[in-house]
Amino acid sequence: MGLHGGDIWNLEESHGLTPEEVLDFSSNINPLGVPQTVKRLLAEQPQLALRYPDPEYGELRQGLADWLGLSPGQVAVGNGASELIRELLLVLKPKRVMVPVPGFAEYARAAANLNIEVVGHRLNAEKDYQLQAEALQSDLELHRPDLVFLCNPNNPTGAQTGLRTMLAAQQLCLRAGAWLVVDETFLELSRLGTKASLVPFFNQGQLIVLRAFTKLFALPGLRLGYLASSEDLALRIRNSLVPWSVNGFAAKLGNLHRDEAEYLAQTARWIAQEPDWLYQQLEALAQHPGSPFDRFWRPDVNFLLGRLKTPQTAAWLRQTLLGKGILIRDCGNFAGLGPEYFRVAVKNRQANQRLVAELALHSASGG
């Protein structure tokens, strides 16, 4: 099982499916696809491939800073958020980090690869995987981490934490002397959007916010992530990064939020409707007598978590759906989840209807 979703490249050999034939529900990217601004850039400026990018990424950081309401000195860019996760650990050199369980695997993997101790902060299914300030405080006192990762909305659970609780978490980490790293990669694809962001609160100190273009702008192949923090820390991270880690095309996308205002408006309208529609359809399947589906969690973002009744497993469901050209995310390798958990992206209505129809066949037959 792969560590991440979106692994469509090995399916031709294993299942006779080319990437074009796969309906990929394992990768949570915007179904609006690549924005027109990016398409024009790739078509009209091929000469960018002939030149080294600006090693300081001044234009890119200025555009991102304008969007965030920060100074460009507070921004660092990288080859996706994953590169920046590793880089901030290299710079801060924590001895112990705390990660959400379940949560994005790269936090723990990056730390373990750097010989940093990893402890978990358990998010409970009984509380719909919502972050609880009291439980976080207890784990901070118990484990005394130097750095805490939180993901808002959380991957793979789809649960979003409101601003009040995030601010409480920030204060708890400050009092504990721990850096807080908030992964907001999915924030602009969520119900609350940037209203839940900690970006306006850097004056509190010891805060890093991560974002990326991967999901929001459907650009996983172009690789562009960014972080915001204090000017001092952002400079240290920029100085630590490998030169030219962001390619010349991605370096021209600093103003993409501004240039694609209508794209973002369409995205917001889709987020306001489609996740709830898909959740209601899938939860209805779970109510059928004999259904193999135990439950689904209501999503605050563009993906949702489901659980099968034993003895059925996500590996079985994944293989079954691949026979129909549909790829889902088996979540059995997420810490804190078992082999019965799976995740599906929210796509456009036509694709979502196809997924529901295929799952309904198994719900009616009892698996």
pLDDT tens figures, 316-367? 999 999 999 999 999 999 999 999 999 999 999 999 999 999 999 977 666 6
- Token pair 């009291």 in the structure block, residue: 134
Q: What is the pLDDT of residue 205?
A: 81
Q: What is the pLDDT of residue 263?
A: 98
pTM comes to 0.95
**53 phi, psi to nearest 5 deg:** -70, 160
Q: What is the pLDDT of residue 203?
A: 81
Q: In whole angstroms, give the CA distance from residue 67 to residue 65.
A: 5
CATH hierarchy code of domain 36-259: 3.40.640.10
On the CB side of 9, CA atoms within 13 Å amount to: 4
Q: What is the pLDDT of residue 4?
A: 46
CATH 3.40.640.10 occupies which residues in the chain? Answer: 36-259
Strands laid side by side in the 303-308 sheet: 293-296, 303-308, 341-345, 329-330
Transcribe 274-294 into DSSP letters. HHHHHHHHHHHHHTSTT-SEE
Q: What is the pLDDT of residue 5?
A: 46
CATH topology for 11-34+261-365 is Aspartate Aminotransferase, domain 1 (3.90.1150)
Q: Which helix (DSSP H) or strand (DSSP E) does residue 50 occupy?
A: none
Which regions in the chain score pLDDT beneath 50? 3-5
CATH 3.90.1150.10 occupies which residues in the chain? Answer: 11-34+261-365
> What does each C-alpha distance from 249 to 52, 53, 61, 84 come to in angstroms?
10, 8, 14, 19
